[in-house]
Each structure stands twice: as C-alpha cells, then as structure tokens.
Amino acid sequence: MRVPTALFVLLTVLVPLAAAPSYDQSGVPLEVEAPRPGLAKIVLLAGAPSSKPMAHEYFAGCALLMDWLRAQPGVWPVMARGWPKNERVLEGARCIVYFGDGGGKQPFAEPGRWATLARLMAGGTGLVLLHQAMDFPLGADGAAVKGWLGAVFHSDIGSRGHWDMEFNDIAAHEVTRGVKPFAAPADGWLYNLHFAPAGVTPLLRGAVPDKSRSTADARKHVGRAEVIAWAHQRPEGGRGFGFTGADLHKSWEYPSQRTLVLNGILWSAGLAVPVGGVQVDLDPAALDRNLDDKTAPAPAKAKAKTPTKKKS
C-alpha cells in the first residue's frame, strides 16, 4: 500500500521530534519526603554531568531508578542532585545510592558530608555504588568504603575500559533473583578491586580482554573471569551492593541489569526481594528524558598573553 505524500511528510517530521532527547529535568521531583510514615526511604544521589551524551547519564539514570523504586510496595525513593540541599532527607534512610563519578568527585567526599555518611553507615544504613562511584584514592576513605560496600577501586591494581561482556556466571543470591544471563555490548567496566576480607559474595563474573589489564597485579590473572557485581553483608551490620557497569545509558534496556540493580538496592536497604526479582518495564522513549545537556561546546580557554619586552 502506497503512503499518501502528505502523510509521509507528516510522519517524517513528527517521528524525529518524538525521539528528540530532552534536557529538561525540571519535572523530576527532588528531595521530596514520603507522603506518609512507615515507607522505607531510599536516597538516590545523582552525580554531576560527565563524559559524552548518552554515557554517564547519572541524573537520568537515577530518575529511572526512582520511578521503578516508587512502584515497589512500601518503598519511597528520594532523589537529590549531588548532595542534598536539605540534609534532613538523609535521616532515616534505609539505603544511600550514589551513581556518579569517582576519584574524589563523590558528593560526600568533603569532610563534613563524609562525617554524615559515616554516621549513617555506623547505624546500619545500606550503601549502593554504581559504575565509577567506587573509585577512591588510596587512604582512609577508601578503606572505609571497602568496609561499607565490600570492595573499592584503587588505581594501584584496578583496571577499567570499554568492551563487550557476557554474564553467564551468576551466583545464587537474593540479589540475583530473576536475573538471567545477559550480554552488555561496549559498556564501561571496572575490575580487579580491593575486596573486604569477609562477607562478600561475587554476583556477576565475566571475561575481560587481557589487553585491558593495565596494572601489574591485573596481569597476574590473565584469563580469570572478573567480578563486576557483588553483595556485602557487613560483620557489624548493614549491607552493600556494587555494580561497575551502567556506563552507557542504553544499558538500562537490559531487563536483567534493571532487575539486578533494583534487587541490590532493596537488599541493601534490608528489604525483601521478590521471589522472581524486581521486574519492571522500560518505555524506550524514557531513555531520552532528563538527560544532561552535553551538546553545547565547552567554553574556549582564554589564551595567555605574551608579555611584551621593553625596549632598552
């Protein structure tokens, strides 16, 4: 059947418009407390804009997680852009989730905020760090994160990069309920982490390219399947979950990744994980919403003026 010319022209105009990315983040409710008592609070901290478009979409990724968590019975997610402007939203949190850059760029890296986070961890609050969020400089902060999360990335032994991965080695655990083997092409990963001495359960392992082994320690383990996700039961109480993927925004298209991360958040919050895992649908159009605007070119750096020589 031939499509009338007028209809064809209309479709060619409307379809690209419908698929256009949206950088309007004003519709995402931030730091909104639960409408009634008794709901389990989970605080999502979205990292600052980073990397190229459709990678490191921390704000949009947290907005998706918030929508999916809000659909879970008895759960109330609270999202903040970086560190909450109103720190009271952290009080009573069952779990803190940070999805953002690491390397000291974590919004809780400064001393006052770190003290608040440490107090929450000491009280048994769960911790979830995604993608680069578990990258910390060597030192006391990194040692603390290893104790809370179960693992920490340090550049002394850790390696990172982008490549295809397949996850067929999936451990039996509450966090992996409903998680089926899946492939994640061309995403970004961190591995060869420092793990806590006890309480850590590797959840996902996969093969990495041996050429990605950028440190001497990583090169000692050529051919070893590397841990990409894990769960940590702290000996002193509290739980942690880490997943080093989710660099590419489109990776939220993978049902098993959504289930893994949402299960990990509930489990870290001390909440029951459904028998079949958390199963949520994704409207493909949702991936184009609430993006960070990375399309504008960076401002040009001013050229340093060459000092003029005085005539003698």
**Is the CATH number of domain 27-288 3.40.50.880?**
yes
Identity at 266, one-letter amino acid code:
L
Is 76's pLDDT higher than 60? yes
pLDDT band at 20 (very low <50, low <70, confident <90, very high): confident
Angle at 103 between CA 102 and CA 104, to 5 degrees: 95
Helices then strands (H, E): number in the chain? 6, 12
Is residue 80 within 8 A of residue 29, CB to CB? The reply is: no
Q: Measuring CA to CA, which residue among 182, 189, 163 is closest to residue 277?
A: 182
pLDDT for residue 271: 98
Is 1's pLDDT higher than 70? no
Section 22-32 average pLDDT: 97
Section 15-35 average pLDDT: 84
Any idea which residue has 């720190």 for tokens?
A: 87
Starting at the edge strand that comes first in sequence, how are the strands of the sheet with 95-99 ordered? Answer: 75-81, 40-46, 95-99, 126-130, 239-243, 226-233, 200-206, 169-170
Task: Fill in the DSSP letter of residue 238.
Answer: -
Is 71's pLDDT higher than 50? yes
More confident residue, 184 or 9: 184
Whole-angstrom CA distances from 4 to 10, 11, 15, 53 are 10, 11, 16, 36
Is 268's pLDDT higher than 90? yes
Stretch among 67-71, 138-142, 179-183 having the lowest mean pLDDT? 138-142
DSSP string across 171-193: --SGGGTT---EEEEEEEEEESP
Is 103's pLDDT higher than 70? yes
Identity at 21, one-letter amino acid code:
P
pLDDT for residue 45: 98
pTM of this prediction?
0.90
User: Which neighbouring-strand residues pair with 182?
Assistant: 167
More confident residue, 302 or 193: 193
pLDDT for residue 238: 97
pLDDT band at 58 (very low <50, low <70, confident <90, very high): very high
Identity at 74, one-letter amino acid code:
G
| Percent of the chain residues past pLDDT 70, beyond the cut | 88
The secondary element (H helix, E strand) that includes residue 166 is strand 159-167
Q: Measuring CA to CA, which residue among 42, 38, 150, 34 is closest to residue 94?
A: 42
Whole-angstrom CA distances from 271 to 79, 94, 278 are 19, 9, 12
pLDDT for residue 140: 83
pLDDT for residue 299: 53
pLDDT for residue 8: 40
Q: Where are the domains of the chain?
A: 27-288
In sequence order, which residues have a C-beta less than 8 Å from that of residue 11 and are 6 or more positions away?
A: 3
Is 15's pLDDT higher than 80? no
